[in-house]
Amino acid sequence: MQIGFIGLGKMGGNMVRRLTKAGHQCHIYSDDPAERAALAAETGAVAADRLAALVAGMEVPRTLWLMVPAGKITQGVIDDLVPLLAPGDSVVDGGNSYFKDSVARAQVLAKKGLSFIDCGTSGGLYGLERGYSLMIGGDDAAVARNAPIFASLAPGIALAPRTPARENGPIAPGEEGWLHCGPPGSGHYVKMIHNGIEYGMMQAFAEGFALFASASADTVPEQYRYRLDLAAIAEVWRRGSVVSSWLLDLGADALAENPDLSAYSPRVADSGEGRWTVIAGVEQGVSVPVIAASLFERFSSHDDAAIDARMLSALRAKFGGHKGVPAANSSKG
Report the catalytic residues. Answer: 191, 198
Residues 203, 293: contact at Cβ < 8 Å? yes
Cα 62 to Cα 308: distance, rounded to the nearest angstrom: 53
Cα–Cα separations (whole angstroms), residue 167 to 6, 159, 162, 163, 175? 39, 14, 6, 6, 11
For residue 260, the Cα-to-chain-centroid distance in whole angstroms is: 25
Residue type, position 77, single letter: V
Q: How far apart, in whole angstroms, are the C-alpha atoms of residue 190 and residue 192?
A: 5
